[in-house]
Amino acid sequence: MFAIAIHGGAGTILRSEMSAEMENAYREALSDALQKGYAVLEANGSALDAVTAAIVSLEDNILFNAGKGSVFTNRGEHEMDASIMNGADGTAGAVAGVRQIRNPVLLAREVMEKSQHVFLCSEGAMEFARERGFATEPDAYFYSPFRYEQWQQVKDSDEYQMDHSAAKETKQDREKKFGTVGAVACDAYGNLAAGTSTGGMTNKKFGRVGDSPIIGAGTYANNQTCAISCTGHGELFIRAVAAYDVHALMDYKKLSLEEAMREVVLKKLPAIGGEGGMIGVDQQGNAYGIFNSDGMYRGFRSSDGREEIAIYGS
């Protein structure tokens, strides 16, 4: 069986605060990305290609804080992070602090496949992108009015804003906030892959990097266990080595995917103040989305006919 799962961020996502128009926009965006990834699997393509296709779709959608529509840094710029990992051979690629790259996940994959490294950052990553002939987009491409307004609230302070934090937000603000994106997949050959992409935190300083581009924290894939993509308060996911911990619980304690994800998301992360969630898939095509926040934008489709697009918690 083959399957794919995607996410578009987790946090303060309340049904009572969501307009019908915005909910439809979320669902359409998630559905489009899900179908693009699933089409790859359906054509006997690789899990790696399916994950890439789904994340590119999400990066190209201004609704999400990844690629187009990324949040503003303290300097009024867009610094994006992404990673990807192939569960078949353990290879991985990641970039952090890149600017003007339309699809950071494609650059992360280029690092994995065309360099001798795993993780490139800032100007070095941009130099690599130029050498590899990556086209760039002007800053205006990444601009979105609601992201700009979000930045205006905190730009003259030392505060930053999580994408789905309820602090200092109006109802209108909450309806307009979208988050980190990711995808995991199991292909027809039993190979797994995972990827994650983000614009980070609004008003972030000092070249801050969250968990999304860090292999083992925000992204991990291993054919023997699982593929995981995380979303939430990055600092805590880094400290918990959250994505790898799911793998470790499955490998060393022989927990199922669902059991391991629940252990990390519902017990270990809350114990250190970590809020957010993750999606995961195993080699049998079992997939789950588990979160400890009010909601998580997510979608799932498998070759046995199951399909789901969901936003809220129970």
Catalytic (active-site) positions? 180
Residue linked to tokens 């489709």: 301
Burial class (CB in 10 A: 0-12, 13-18, 19+), 237: buried
Which of helix, strand or coil describes residue 35?
Answer: helix
Which of helix, strand or coil describes residue 186?
Answer: strand
Cα 272 to chain centroid, rounded: 21
CA dihedral 291, 232, 51, 249 (to 10 degrees): -60
What phi and psi, each to the nearest 5 degrees, are found at residue 216?
Answer: 100, -25
Which of helix, strand or coil describes residue 313?
Answer: coil
Closest Cα partner for 257 from 232, 277, 228? 228
Round to whole Å and give the CA distance between 162 and 24. Answer: 23
